[in-house]
Structure 1
Amino acid sequence: MELVKKVLSKILIHVLSLIICSLLSFLTLLKWFKVGNALFHVKPRPTPPAILQDEKWGTHGYLNLKSQGIKIHYVENGDRSKPLIVCFHGFPEFWFSWRYQLEEFSSDHWVVAVDMRGYGDSDKPSSLSDYTLDKLIEDARQIVLELGKLKGIDWDKERCTIMAHDWGGALAWLLVSLYPHLFDYHISLNGPHITALNIHKQSSIKQKLMSWYMILFQTPWVPELILRANDLQMFDQMAEPMRNRDKMFNKDIIEAYKYSFGKTWAFTGPLNYYRNMGAAEKTYPKVSVPSLIIWGTEDKALAKPIAELSAAQCENAQIEWVENTGHWVQMEEYEHANKLIRDYFVKNKKIV
């Protein structure tokens, strides 16, 4: 009887999700019939906005991941002789999501925020098969190793800290699970362990409904068009619920995101992360790297139990809830998030 309930629940959620996705697609097509191709016109933005060039965030560089066949763009701040923090962003973001952490921790760390494969100024392979989970994890490992070479790390004596959010957070969980010898600490900001996400989705109708967009993203071409609609209006909408919007996600910041995602098919690589999620149901070793989980409690995509289930995948985890804050906690409440991270470092004697 329990099995029947689970099967019926899964069928019901998929039907509801498909209805929502079909409705959204239909409404978009209806607008297209009324407005025409102007609906999908994105204003040309040929040059980076000034905010992306601000030296307080750091300097730009590239890593050549020869074994992966791609080039990765990054921004670094701080002294390379200091302990390394590597930052991985989520969807739909790029290195700029870590601007406040690049500035904050550069005084006592070498902080590096990368553009993940398919994002920003990093290479954007065109094939769906270029975005399998195994390739993304290997990208992340190679990025850490290449940065280690730049810094001159002897991995037998030194480790780095990984700080990650959303999709970057999902990859970071697997990276610290599979390669713990590379890391001293792991900071996850609203980033789900894939095992935790799968467990919660199996038992929570609410989470299945919250994840409706993942089904939409499986469709070819349509999500790209929807996300580009009305000159990338999605970024204006993304900013709407943020607290202190004028400070955290003002017009200049929105323009920075529109510049990055305004290029033709700039969404295809990022969406391919989701289109390869079907192969994500593996068993991974328990995380032995000490982990700090910072979680905005009003996340509309990832429910609070995922943080607790992620902590259950660890030998040593600490959860810090940030109340009345959404998915982008590292931007929306960056001062609070930065303090939690700094306090954690002090508590664990990483810094004095």
Structure 2
Amino acid sequence: MEVVFAKWLARSVISKRIRKKKVVVRCITLFISLCISLVIAANLFYRRLKVGRDFFRMKTYVAPQSLLDSELGIHNYIYLKNQGIKLHYVEKGDRCKPLILLVHGFYESWFSWRHQLGEFSADYWVVAVSLRGYDDSDKPSGTSEYTLMKMVEDLREFVLALGKDKCTFIGHDGGAVVGWVLVSKYPDLFERFITCNGSHPFAYKTHLKKSFKQMKKSWYVFFNQMPYLPELCFAANDYELLCRFYYEDNENSETFTDEVIQAYKYYFSQKGALTVAVNFYRNIDFMSSLQIPKMRIPTLIIWGTENKFLDKELAKLSARECEDVQVKYIDGAGHFVQQQEPVYFNKLIWEYISITQ
């Protein structure tokens, strides 16, 4: 009886310590978020005075021709019975061939894979899925509908609904984060995992605590904890701040042409679309105890050396979570590697597929 009581007491003490630590971390996070938000809000309203009344006017767009180009693929939908939502996807290639699943990042869309859909479709059935809330996928209401695990389960059911026993997962940014958890938890569904500029959740959390440089790069993560202000800020002055993410200080102006930017503006001008993108960040638990198994599937990590949002060190830290891994850097490339350097990016994919068949 005394042993049982001692164990209960120990668990109780540990639980209280964890709760206190979570409160402290939450307070620090909110303090950082508030400081960043005050600076951004001051700048925002100063610029409103300079630009005029149209600064905060929400603009809407019609779908540009580039999104309707049949050469990119066929638009389709799958209803996920267990998850209760419909996901949009674009497919190209023969359905009888092996499946490559492409998963976009946050503040992006299926369109970010426009250089890969055709590239691999001769040998594969290539599917670029739109995450819940994005593009023409369903947008369930409520912040809690956009947790990491809900997206993981969406994609698990989506792969099963496509009717393939195995597939190759290629993810970028937030899509790769979802992939790290999905492929680790359900390895039997996948042949290989390829991530581009998307770090393992443990690697990111660990590095964020130790690196002031990464904390500065992650300003938007803290800013997105605030209610309402992020959506207002991203949409202001014709989605100016949103476009700055793509341009990465104008280094990607040749990649993100006016036509490409119009496609992104179309999707994010839809009702609730910006809130969906922000809600993932609002669900981040900086004290998460999520258990992620070691990655057993052959893994390729592709990283742009000039990434403005994620340190180069995160690639090596993520590799430590894998049993069979290769890390490839693309010198001079930024965060959006599959769009900025599509020829070299596709070459790396082909080479890796050939040695892991």
Do both proteins adopt the same fold according to a TM-score greater than 0.5, normalized to the shorter chain?
A: yes
Match of 1:4 in 2: none
For residue 291 of structure 1, report the CA deviation from its aligned partner: 0.4
Q: Secondary structure at the match of 2:291?
A: coil
Verify: 1:215 aligned to 2:222, yes or no. yes
Q: Deviations over 1:73-117 (max 9, x none)?
A: 000011111110111111210100011110111110000001101
Q: How does 1:1-352 map to 2 (within 5 A)?
A: 18-33=34-49, 35=51, 37-45=53-61, 47-147=62-162, 149=163, 153=164, 155=165, 159-237=166-244, 238-239=246-247, 241=249, 245-246=253-254, 248-278=255-285, 280-348=288-356, 350=357
Residue 26 of structure 1 aligns with an amino acid whose one-letter code is A
Report the TM-score when normalising by structure 2.
0.88
Could you say if the C-alpha distance between residues 106 and 280 of structure 1 is closer, same or farther in structure 2, counting changes exceeding 3 Å? farther
Match of 1:3 in 2: none
Q: Could you tell me which amino acid in structure 1 is paired with residue 128 of structure 2?
A: A
Q: How high is the TM-score relative to the length of structure 1? A: 0.89
Residues 171, 34 of structure 1: CA spacing in aligned structure 2 closer, same or farther, 3 A cutoff?
A: same
Deviates more, 1:201-210 or 1:333-342: 201-210
Distance in 1 of aligned mates of 2:271 and 2:150? 24
Q: Any conservation in 2 of the 1:133–1:280 contact (CA below 8 Å)?
A: no
Q: Alpha-carbon deviation of 1:15?
A: 5.5
Deviation of 1:229 (Å): 0.8
Provide Cα deviations, 1:270-295, integer angstroms capped at 9, x if missing partner. Answer: 11110001164423110000000000
Distance (Å, rounded) in 1 between the aligned partners of 2:249 and 2:39: 23
Range with greater deviation from structure 2 (222-231 or 265-274): 265-274
Q: What secondary structure sits across from 2:119 in the alignment?
A: helix
**Contact 1:21/1:216 (8 A) holds in 2:** yes
* 2:123 aligned partner, one-letter code: D
Displacement of 1:347 after TM fit?
1.9
* Deviation of the 1:21 alpha carbon: 2.6
CA-CA distance at 1:14 after TM superposition: 7.3
Q: How far is 1:169 from its partner?
A: 0.4
Identify if the C-alpha distance between structure 1 residues 243 and 344 changes in structure 2 by more than 3 Å, giving closer, same or farther. farther
Provide closer, same or farther for how the CA distance between residues 30 and 220 of structure 1 changes in structure 2, counting only shifts above 3 A. Answer: same
Cα displacement (A) at 1:42? 3.4
Whether the 8 Å CA contact 1:89–1:115 is kept in 2: the answer is yes
CA distance in 2, matches of 1:283, 1:210: 26
**Secondary structure of residue in 2 paired with 1:245:** coil
In the superposition, relative to structure 1, how do residues 287 and 30 fare at CA in structure 2: closer, same or farther (>3 Å)? same
- Aligned-pair CA distance for 1:301: 1.1
8 A Cα contact 2:248 2:334, kept in partner? no
Secondary structure of 1:284's match?
coil
Seq. identity, %: 45
TM-align CA RMSD: 2.1
Maintained 8 Å contact 1:235/1:254:
no
1:250 corresponds to which letter in structure 2?
Answer: T
Q: Greater CA deviation, 337-346 or 272-281?
A: 272-281
Distance 1:11 1:296 in 2: 33
Report how far residue 249 of structure 1 moved.
Answer: 1.4
Distance 2:107 2:252 in 1: 20
3-state DSSP of counterpart to 2:59: coil
What does the per-residue CA deviation read over 1:199-246, in whole Å, with 9 as the maximum and x for residues that have no partner?
A: 111211111121111111011110000000111123542226465633
For 1:305 and 1:208, the matched residues in 2 are separated by 13
Q: 1:260 & 1:12 partners in 2: Cα distance? A: 34
- Structure 1 window deviating more from structure 2 (167-176 vs 196-205): it is 196-205
Contact 2:248/2:308 (8 A) holds in 1: no
